[in-house]
């Protein structure tokens, strides 16, 4: 089946709505990732994790196996070779499953979109023989799959069974998780970030403390960006249940500018702490997200 | 412009409602579930409310509708004096038109009709009028209508009747009509010849507050001749077995001129039986006796007539004469001449009524005797049980029985018919004789003795009587001085039993030789026979009880034929009463066509007296002495603010306007919603 799908021309940018209808996450992930990889022809950064990074002076206690003997021969000094990453890195997706994610105006909810994205990323990383893990959280940790090379099915299974239900909060679960991820790795946070930019950064930043690479996907529905509602209607907050009368046509401009300001603030705050931040619109194909992810990874590596 | 209920202006605050609705437009639509209202909440609240009003016209329509409704509830009225005249001067006019027979004098009636038409013509479009015809009573012809043609038609259709004038009932009816009226001006127009006889200073004939009374006096010169027959007297006599009647008529001349040259005629059954020359002085009266005529048949109709004059209604006087019917009496006695001597003599005298007596021994009383007799007298006889039972049944069927208990009288114990049980004789020959006292003068038997010096029972010594013990339902009409009953009466079925505790001969007392004896016997016989003298005539306005009049013939009256030829059927039992409204002869008929009884009806002779009174007397009594009569300015009564508001009815137009605007608003908003 997967062969058939990726053989289809144009499958590369598949509509997320169509993908959501497939249902089987593994199938979806493979379809997307395979098509994505095929489309790249030759990935220059494939296997980048074993690349040499830098030398540093030997300090007592370093593993002498990592000493660069050739350099010692030339310079008569002890240097240790440092590599960019472990060949088998830990990769975990931290997915926000709060109630606000259960919103979609165009056939696919943010949650479904994020779920497919998670599956795709997991699939992609699994292909690289890396260890995949998964954490779902709202105001607390809801599900946790520790990173392992064998855990891709588990992750997909857990993903399948998740449903968003409770109001969310970033700070408490993410701070808890920050202590949990002891080994360096790549952490992907997917959320709609309905909190103040400072609070978001404050919640997310600790994940970087142990040297984790952090990728943040900000998933939003087109309606949340455009606010294209027509008549005056009462709006209900999905998480708090609060209702208020809204006249969209009067609100629209102001709302848009507020959302823009929010995204700008997040972009700025995340870049300040060197976090890769991407806004995803659920109307965009998933390939775009993956592309952005990998592109971001590449850039980061180049900067280093 | 002012308002009766200005507090309703507080409701103008309600005008804010559509404005708020316009601004908020919190229409009940589906709730939009949105991930987070974080940003929405930040948009200032004020900016939500300050929306532009899009449909100015719709808003204005709504505001105007509400304002009109509030104005209507505040009950506005215009205070300007010149404005309300059109509506406020609307009046309720009650035209009281006299239809007593005196209005037939000369051209009075034509002039009264003309006056009524003139008053009707004065009514404006907003006025309402009523026509009430009155004589001795009042009858509403048309009640409170604005259709003048109907009022005029009712006046045209009216005619003077045979009744006398009575102002009081008419004023009461007019007061009732005015009391129901809502119009501000209320007026009574009294069109009459204002005879003195029609007004007795009646109390209670007051019009409602603020009503006016306008008398319209219909006068005519009194120089025209007007004779009237005031009444007749009928003197009966019996001559060689035939009953004869002498009619004496009283004639009154109501004018200032002597009435000479005419003649007074007596008609019996349509034939003139007597004519007498007539000469009456101005304002005087005379009585003229005709020759006697024989009363040969029942219900003979007699009419006394004077020549035609200006007022013809009172020129005739009707009466009915019938041969007096005898009362049949069966006397049961021992057959001795002495025992029934006094009783027989007493019953043989008298003409009204005549008593026809048959005498029987106890064993000889036949059923035929009882059937024919109105009264049975048991004169001191022994009555056996069979006869007693027959007599009891006879009384129950309506007969009358007189029982005199002398020394021999007996009555079987097991037949309960007498007012008392007969005890042993009481001998009062020694010592003082018994005296009769404690008479029930209210009873018909003793009614003639009521007045002083009209007969003294206590002067009669009674030497012996039977000791009677009264039955429970018996009434003791007289007692002896010892307290024992002397005369008792008991009703039994439809009949009566009267009991005298002594004898009707001179063996025990001198009673038969006393003057009170014949009167007592006659009264007792009349009372027991239920005899009532038939009235030779009645007066218009009196109530005729047909069943009572025809009781002598024992026929059930089904139909009454009025003098004008109308047939008035009596549908139900017990409704045989009729108010006499016409002059002439009423025929009372049973199922057949023959007249069972005839009743003569005459007009009230007092109405012939055309002497007028001062109309202001009635006005003052009806509307009070406050000068609110006809002389008062009709518009002089200031209208209250409530009445003015009621007349103007501005609230009505405002309310209709408001409702129309609301309808327009609904249409507009629907159309806009579709667009």
Chain A partners of B51 at a C-beta cutoff of 8 Å? Answer: 247, 250
The first and second tokens of residue B10, run together, are: 């507080």
- Average pLDDT along chain B: 83
* Token pair of B361 as six digits: 């021994």
- CATH fold for the domain made of B227-322: Immunoglobulin-like (2.60.40)
Q: Are A50 and A83 in contact (CB under 8 A)?
A: yes
CA A33 to chain centre: 15
- Structural element, H or E, at residue A17: helix A16-22
Please count the other Cβ atoms lying within 10 Å of the Cβ belonging to residue B506: 14
Its ipTM equals 0.75
Q: What is the mean pLDDT of chain A?
A: 78
Name the more confident of A142 and B23: A142
- Per-residue pLDDT tens, chain A, 304 aa: give them: 333 333 333 334 456 666 666 556 666 666 666 655 554 443 333 333 456 778 888 888 888 888 889 999 999 999 988 775 545 678 888 999 998 888 888 888 899 888 888 888 888 888 777 788 999 998 888 888 888 888 888 888 888 888 888 888 888 888 888 877 767 778 888 998 888 888 888 888 888 877 778 888 899 998 888 888 877 778 888 888 888 877 787 778 888 888 999 999 999 888 888 788 888 888 888 777 777 777 766 665 554 4
Compare CB distances from A103 to B26, B35, B37 and report the shortest one's residue: B35
Per-residue pLDDT tens over the stretch B592-634: 667 778 888 888 888 888 888 888 888 888 887 544 444 444 4
> Tokens at residue B139, please?
């009858």
Tens digit of each residue's pLDDT (9 = 90 or more) over B222-281: 667 788 888 888 888 877 778 888 999 998 887 778 888 788 999 998 899 889 998 888
Contact A91, A184 (CB under 8 A): no
Domain range summary for chain A, segments of one domain joined by +: 2-42+86-303, 51-83
> What are the Cα distances from residue A95, in Å, to A92, A177, A189, A194, A294?
9, 12, 6, 14, 19
Lowest mean pLDDT among A28-32, B430-434, B440-444: A28-32
pLDDT in tens, B465-483: 999 999 999 999 999 988 8
Q: CB under 8 Å, gap of 24 or more: what pairs does B222-225 form?
A: B222/B255, B222/B256, B222/B610, B223/B255, B223/B256, B223/B257, B224/B105, B224/B106, B224/B255, B224/B309, B224/B310, B225/B255, B225/B257, B225/B259, B225/B309, B225/B310
pTM assigned to the model: 0.50
- Return the CATH architecture of domain A2-42+86-303: 3-Layer(aba) Sandwich (3.40)
Backbone angles phi, psi at B353, to 5 degrees: -90, 170
Instruction: Give buried/exposed letters for A170-202 (b at 16+ CB in 10 A, else e).
Output: beebbbebbeebeeebbbbbbbbbbbebeebbb
CA atoms within 13 A on the CB side of A211: 9
CA distance B293 to B274: 9
Instruction: Determine what percent of chain A falls in helix, strand and coil, rounding each to the nearest 5.
Output: 50, 20, 30
The pLDDT value recorded for residue A48 is 38
HSE, CB side, 13 Å, CA atoms: give it for residue B640: 8
CATH, domain range B327-529: 3.40.50.880
Helix (H) or strand (E) run with residue B23 in it: helix B16-24
CA atoms of B645 and B647, how far apart (whole Å): 5
pLDDT at B201 over 80: no
For residue B358, give the DSSP letter. Answer: E
Cα gap A242→A235, rounded to integer Å: 8
Q: B559-566: long-range contacts (C-beta < 8 A, 24 or more apart)?
A: B559/B588, B559/B589, B560/B586, B560/B587, B560/B588, B560/B589, B561/B586, B561/B587, B561/B588, B561/B589, B561/B595, B562/B586, B563/B601
Q: Is the pLDDT of residue B42 over 90?
A: no
Nearest Cα of chain B lies from the Cα of A149 at a distance, in angstroms, of: 35
Q: What is the pLDDT of residues B537-582, one digit of tens each?
A: 888 888 877 766 655 555 667 788 888 888 887 766 556 677 888 8
B42·A103 Cβ contact <8 A = no
Q: What's the CA gap between B282 and B14, in Å, rounded?
A: 85
Residue B25 has pLDDT above 90, yes or no: no
C-alpha–C-alpha distance, residues B629 and B627, integer Å: 5
Q: Give the E-state strand segments of B27-81 in sequence order.
A: 32-34, 76-77
Q: CATH second-level architecture of B85-222+610-638?
A: 3-Layer(aba) Sandwich (3.40)
Q: What is the pLDDT of residues A29-66, one digit of tens each?
A: 666 666 555 544 433 333 334 567 788 888 888 888 88
Nearest-10 Cα torsion for B411, B413, B414, B417: 50
| pLDDT at position A132 | 87
Sequence-separated (6 or more) residues with CB below 8 Å from residue B82: none
How many pairs of residues across A and B have Cβ atoms under 8 Å apart?
Answer: 80
More confident residue, B491 or B673: B491
Q: What is the distance between the alpha carbons of residues A272 and A261, in angstroms, rounded to a whole number? A: 16
**Which residue out of A233, A241, A249, A264 would a mutagenesis test of the B interface target, given it has the greatest number of B Cβ atoms within 10 Å?**
A233
The residue among B638 and A67 whose pLDDT is bigger is A67
Interface mutation target, options B27, B29, B32, B46, chain A, most CBs of A under 10 Å: B32
Show which of residues 462-481 on chain B sit within 8 Å of chain A, judged by CB atoms.
Answer: none
How much of chain B, in percent, has pLDDT values that exceed 90?
21
Question: Closest Cα partner for B130 from B109, B114, B146, B111?
Answer: B146
Give pLDDT, residue A272: 85
């Amino acid at each position: 089946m997967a062969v058939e799908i990726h053989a289809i021309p144009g499958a590369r940018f598949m509509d997320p709505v169509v993908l959501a209808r497939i249902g089987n996450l593994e199938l979806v992930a493979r379809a997307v990732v395979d098509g994505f990889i095929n489309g790249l022809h030759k990935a220059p950064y494939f296997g980048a994790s074993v690349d040499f990074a830098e030398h540093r002076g030997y300090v007592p206690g370093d593993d002498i196996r990592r000493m660069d003997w050739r350099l010692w021969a030339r310079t008569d000094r002890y240097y240790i070779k440092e590599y960019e990453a472990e060949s088998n890195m830990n990769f975990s997706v931290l997915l926000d499953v709060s109630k606000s994610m259960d919103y979609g105006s165009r056939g696919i909810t943010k949650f479904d979109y994020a779920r497919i994205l998670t599956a795709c990323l997991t699939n992609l990383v699994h292909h690289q023989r890396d260890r995949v893990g998964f954490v779902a959280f709202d105001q607390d940790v809801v599900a946790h799959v520790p990173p392992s090379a064998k855990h891709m099915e588990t992750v997909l299974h857990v993903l399948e069974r998740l449903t968003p239900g409770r109001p969310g909060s970033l700070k408490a679960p993410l701070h808890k998780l920050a202590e949990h991820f002891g080994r360096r790795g790549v952490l992907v946070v997917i959320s709609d970030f309905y909190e103040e930019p400072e609070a978001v950064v404050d919640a997310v930043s600790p994940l970087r403390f142990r040297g984790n690479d952090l990728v943040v996907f900000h998933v939003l529905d087109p309606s949340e960006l455009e606010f294209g509602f027509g008549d005056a209607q009462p709006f209900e907050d999905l998480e708090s249940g609060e209702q208020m009368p809204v006249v969209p046509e009067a609100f629209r401009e102001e709302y848009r500018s507020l959302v823009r300001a929010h995204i700008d603030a997040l972009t700025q705050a995340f870049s300040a702490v060197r976090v890769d931040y991407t806004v995803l619109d659920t109307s965009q194909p998933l390939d775009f997200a993956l592309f952005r992810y990998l592109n971001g990874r590449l850039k980061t590596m180049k900067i280093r | 412009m002012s308002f009766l209920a200005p507090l309703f202006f507080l409701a103008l605050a309600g005008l804010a409602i559509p404005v708020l609705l316009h601004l908020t437009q919190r229409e009940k639509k589906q709730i939009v579930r949105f991930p987070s209202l974080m940003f929405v909440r930040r948009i200032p609240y004020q900016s939500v409310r300050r929306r532009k009003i899009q449909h100015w016209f719709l808003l204005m329509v709504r505001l105007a509708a509400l304002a009109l409704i509030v104005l209507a509830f505040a009950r506005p009225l215009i205070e300007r004096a010149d404005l309300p005249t059109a509506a406020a001067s609307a009046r309720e006019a009650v035209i009281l038109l006299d239809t007593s027979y005196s209005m037939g004098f000369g051209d009075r009636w034509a002039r009264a009709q003309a006056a009524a038409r003139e008053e009707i013509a004065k009514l404006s479009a907003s006025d309402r009028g009523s026509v009430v015809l009155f004589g001795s009573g009042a009858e509403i012809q048309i009640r409170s209508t604005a259709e003048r043609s109907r009022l005029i038609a009712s006046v045209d259709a009216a005619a003077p009747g045979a009744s006398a004038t009575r102002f009081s009932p008419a004023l009461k009816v007019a007061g009732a009509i005015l009391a129901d009226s809502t119009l501000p001006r209320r007026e009574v127009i009294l069109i009459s010849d204002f005879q003195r006889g029609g007004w007795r200073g009646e109390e209670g004939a007051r019009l409602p507050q603020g009503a006016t009374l306008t008398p319209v006096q219909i006068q005519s010169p009194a120089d025209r001749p007007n004779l009237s027959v005031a009444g007749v007297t009928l003197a009966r006599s019996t001559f060689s077995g035939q009953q004869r009647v002498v009619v004496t008529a009283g004639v009154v001349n109501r004018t200032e001129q002597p009435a000479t040259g005419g003649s007074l005629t007596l008609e019996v059954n349509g034939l003139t039986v007597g004519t007498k020359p007539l000469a009456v002085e101005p304002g005087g009266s005379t009585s003229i006796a005709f020759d006697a005529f024989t009363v040969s048949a029942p219900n003979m109709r007699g009419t006394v007539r004077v020549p035609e004059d200006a007022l013809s209604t009172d020129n005739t006087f009707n009466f009915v004469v019938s041969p007096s019917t005898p009362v049949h009496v069966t006397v049961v006695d021992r057959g001795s001449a002495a025992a029934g001597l006094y009783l027989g003599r007493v019953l043989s005298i008298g003409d009204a009524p005549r008593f026809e007596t048959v005498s029987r021994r106890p064993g000889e009383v036949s059923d035929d005797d009882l059937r024919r007799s109105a009264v049975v007298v048991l004169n001191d006889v022994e009555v056996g049980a069979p006869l007693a039972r027959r007599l009891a049944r006879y009384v129950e069927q309506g007969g009358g029985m007189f029982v005199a208990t002398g020394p021999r009288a007996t009555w079987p114990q097991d037949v309960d018919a007498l007012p008392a049980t007969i005890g042993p004789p009481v001998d009062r020959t020694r010592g003082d004789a018994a005296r009769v006292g404690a008479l029930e003068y209210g009873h018909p038997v003793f009614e003639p003795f009521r007045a002083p010096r009209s007969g003294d029972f206590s002067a009669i010594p009674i030497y012996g009587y039977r000791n009677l013990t009264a039955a429970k339902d018996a009434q003791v009409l007289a007692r002896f001085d010892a307290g024992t009953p002397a005369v008792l009466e008991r009703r039994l079925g439809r009949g009566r039993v009267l009991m005298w505790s002594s004898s009707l001969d001179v063996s025990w007392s001198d009673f038969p030789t006393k003057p009170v004896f014949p009167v007592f016997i006659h009264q007792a016989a009349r009372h027991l026979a239920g005899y009532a003298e038939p009235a030779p005539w009645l007066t218009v306005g009196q109530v005729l009880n047909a069943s009572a009049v025809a009781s002598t013939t024992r026929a059930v009256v089904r139909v009454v034929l009025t003098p004008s030829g109308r047939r008035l059927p009596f549908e139900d039992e017990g409704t045989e009463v009729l108010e006499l409204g016409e002059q002439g002869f009423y025929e009372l008929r049973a199922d057949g066509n023959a007249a069972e009884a005839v009743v003569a009806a005459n007009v009230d002779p007092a109405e012939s007296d055309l002497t007028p009174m001062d109309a202001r007397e009635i006005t003052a009594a009806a509307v009070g002495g406050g000068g609110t009569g006809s002389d008062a300015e009709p518009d002089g009564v200031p209208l209250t603010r409530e009445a003015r508001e009621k007349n103007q009815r501005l609230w009505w137009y405002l309310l209709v306007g408001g409702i129309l605007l609301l309808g327009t608003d609904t249409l507009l908003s629907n159309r806009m919603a579709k667009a």
